């Protein structure tokens, strides 16, 4: 009988740090297939062959969350632990579901790490959806301390063991501490509502980074995080590594998106039909995609141009004076 030495499980980890990919859409109702599958470089195709990362695969499950505001103020989610590209349910429902707000995520877990439904993005709390591309440095040590800081309501959100779920709990904690309850439809508060959402999100990230800084060993964090309530969205591009920038993030802005030749094309300026897409990678070859600069947060309100606000080293918004500026300029990629 061959008798190998048995390595502890921790040894079994491979060296790569896999990252995920996500796409957020806010606009007129879009058929999911049109957004997630048909574009030449759609998220589902990214799950098969990502072009902007050395490691091309995002095959450890996926998730799609979408809003159907006429039916339910709270969104639905569809999660799977199989790769997105071969999931027959996803392919089928994507052709018969349209939505004015979609968050989709393909996951690249570390080989050997846990892949189960409880760990699939986007995470949902009431009317909020949240998804993440990256990692919180030192999470293993920070996890416990993060839990200790939570209200009971936010603590109850944590059902699995990933860093993202703890970021979600911190976000819920921020909502609850500011008097929100997350349930029922979103109220319209103008663009201030989008800024408020961005503030809640970045405060949550700042708290996570603070704990990681106190208890961790200095591992860098990569926090591209998207959150939405169906009418507003906030998406960060953040990293604090010294040698490499944060994960990529792009915004498609200023035009309605229509699927022609499986690409989005530009038609008209912002109006009630305007749509915004924020995505880890450009979904099409359309030149209208703009790269979000490092350490910024994109704030979006339905029907308005997105604004991009700078973040400090602690991930907090540096200057969120909505009355002071108009649309923050987006540099072309």
Instruction: Kindly state the smallest distance separating residue 142's Cβ from a copy of itself, in Å.
Output: 12
3-state helix, strand, coil in the chain (%, to 5): 25, 25, 50
Annotated catalytic residue: which of 20, 104, 172, 235?
20
Q: Would you say 96 or 324 has its CB closer to a copy of itself? A: 96
**Do residues 155 and 268 lie in contact, with contact meaning Cβ atoms separated by under 8 Å?**
no
Q: Provide, rounded to whole angstroms, the least separation between the CB of residue 233 and a copy of itself.
A: 18
Residue 250 Cβ vs a copy of itself, minimum distance, rounded to whole Å = 20
Tokens (6 digits) for 79: 């999660």
Rounded alpha-carbon distances, angstroms, from residue 196 to 27, 113, 154, 171, 229: 20, 35, 18, 12, 12
CB of 325 to a copy of itself, least distance (A): 31
Catalytic (active site) residue 20: yes
DSSP secondary structure string for all residues of 101-112:
EEEEEE--PPTT
Rank residues 4 and 326 by Cβ distance to a copy of itself and give the closer one.
4
Pick from 168, 201, 141, 146: nearest CA to 63: 168
Q: Which is nearer to a copy of itself, 273 or 312 (CB)?
A: 273
Which residue is listed with tokens 């709990």?
169
Nearer to a copy of itself, 79 or 200 (CB): 79
Rounded (10°) angle between helices 163-177 and 139-148: 30
Catalytic residues: 20
């Amino acid at each position: 009988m061959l008798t190998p030495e048995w390595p502890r499980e921790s040894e079994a980890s491979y060296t790569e740090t896999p990252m995920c990919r996500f796409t957020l859409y806010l606009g007129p109702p879009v058929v999911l297939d049109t957004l997630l599958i048909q574009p030449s470089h759609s998220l589902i195709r990214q799950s098969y062959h990502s072009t902007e990362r050395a490691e091309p695969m995002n095959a450890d499950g996926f998730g799609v969350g979408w809003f159907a505001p006429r039916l339910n103020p709270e969104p639905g989610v569809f999660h799977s632990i199989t790769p997105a590209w071969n999931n027959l349910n996803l392919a089928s429902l994507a052709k018969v579901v349209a939505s004015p707000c979609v968050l989709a995520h393909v996951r690249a877990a570390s080989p050997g790490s846990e892949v189960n439904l409880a760990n699939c993005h986007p995470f949902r709390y009431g009317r909020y959806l949240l998804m993440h591309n990256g990692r919180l440095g030192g999470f293993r040590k920070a996890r416990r301390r993060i839990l200790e800081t939570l209200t009971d309501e936010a603590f109850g959100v944590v059902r699995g063991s990933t860093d993202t779920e703890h970021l979600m709990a911190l976000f819920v904690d921020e909502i609850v501490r500011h008097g929100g309850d997350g349930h029922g439809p979103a109220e319209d508060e103008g663009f201030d509502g989008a800024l408020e959402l961005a503030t809640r999100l970045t405060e949550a990230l700042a708290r996570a980074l603070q704990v990681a800084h106190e208890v961790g060993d200095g591992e860098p964090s990569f926090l591209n995080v998207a959150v939405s309530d169906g009418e507003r969205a906030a998406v960060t591009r953040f990293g604090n590594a010294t040698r490499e920038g944060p994960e990529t993030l792009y915004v498609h802005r200023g035009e309605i998106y229509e699927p022609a030749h499986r690409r989005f094309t530009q038609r008209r300026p912002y109006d009630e039909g305007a749509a915004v897409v924020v995505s880890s990678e450009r979904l099409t070859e359309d030149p209208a995609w703009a790269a979000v600069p490092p350490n910024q947060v994109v704030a979006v309100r339905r029907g308005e141009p997105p604004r991009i606000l700078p973040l400090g080293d602690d991930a907090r918004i540096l200057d969120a004076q909505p009355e002071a500026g108009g649309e923050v300029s987006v540099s072309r990629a």
